[in-house]
Copies of this chain bind each other. A is one copy, B any other.
Amino acid sequence: MSPTPAGAPPCVRLHLVVAYTGARFHGWQLQAGDRTVQGVVEKALATLAGRPVRAIGSGRTDAGVHAVGQVVHADVPQTRAGLPWRRALNALLPDDVSVVQAGPAPPGFHARFGAVSKTYAYSLWTEPEFVYPQRRPFVWACGPVDRQAMVLAAREFLGRRDFAAMQNTGTNVGSTVRTLESVAAWPGQTPFETVWRFTADGFLKQMVRNVMGCLVAVGKGKISPPDVRTLLSVGDRTRAPATAPARGLCLESVEYGDHEHGEAHSIFDEPAPDQGGCG
């Protein structure tokens, strides 16, 4: 049970894992007048809770980006704690969102501040002349690339770096330093795909898509791995290759640390107020 101010009804915090396809959403985050994942999840939660409920995600995803492992918490009235939340939410949610897990959150859990790392997957379709229609919504059909050159270039991003050149222009955050813990190319769902998987302690806005744009530019011989090093050290987004399309990107998982020892992490730059509907 969450700590409850005097007068507010007692709440329990739910932990949700949410999957969605991004094509028909204006991203995760609530926006007046636009269909967002947070918006439809909060609507379903409110229906079941009988009151407004705030859904706090591990972070935003852009319009068009998919997820299979977005982590969310939400405080709901204790009187509804016993609901079969997963089944009930999925009965209300539209076809392009599904709750994969739902249950009580561990004590002190916070979907955003507790996240210690995230893993994104970016799918490249490298066959030049055709794309399976089944895979078109989930890949960037970038055509043939020199994978070995990309692997070399990817090493330039690995570790603790200033990713200023890899964030969306116009973004304003405190620090642009992040630690990319791993980046690797994996076999995809078909023989015509490669999945690039990125794990970091945090990602700047459009960081994966900008890194992917760089890697494909290397794979096509437009820039070299040393150029990538220069780009990063100069830190000027306007000199970097174009952002990769949203539809190739999927938030696969969010990792959490030890909830006994506090989970506020300095990697999050814009801690939004946690406005739950209760508690």
Is A19 in contact with chain B by the CB < 8 A criterion? yes
Q: How large is the interface on A (under 10, 10 to 19, 20 to 34, 35 or more residues)?
A: 20 to 34
Selected interface stretch from A41-49, A92-100, A162-170: A92-100
Q: How far is the CA of A183 from the CA of B130 in the complex (A)?
A: 30
Partner of A100, one of B68, B130, B189: B130
Is there contact, CB below 8 Å, between A98 and B133?
A: yes
Cβ-defined contact, A98 with B66, below 8 A: no
- A87's closest neighbor in chain B, by CB? B129
> Which single residue of chain B is at the shortest CB-CB distance from A18?
B130
- A164 CB, min distance to chain B CBs, angstroms: 33
* A136 contacts partner chain B, Cβ-Cβ < 8 Å: yes
Are the C-beta atoms of B19 and A68 separated by less than 8 Å? Answer: no
A205 contacts B by Cβ under 8 Å: no
Residues of A113-141 contacting chain B, CB below 8 A: 129-134, 136, 138
Distance in Å from the Cβ of A53 to the closest Cβ of chain B?
A: 19
Q: Are A134 and B90 closer than 8 Å at their CB atoms?
A: no
Which of B19, B87, B130, B131 is in CB contact (< 8 Å) with A132?
A: B19
CA distance A251 to B213 in the complex (A): 34
Interface string of A4-47 (1 = CB under 8 A from B): 00000000000000011100000000000000000000000000
The answer to whether A66 touches B134 (Cβ under 8 A) is yes
Tell me whether A86 is interfacial, beta carbon within 8 Å.
Answer: yes
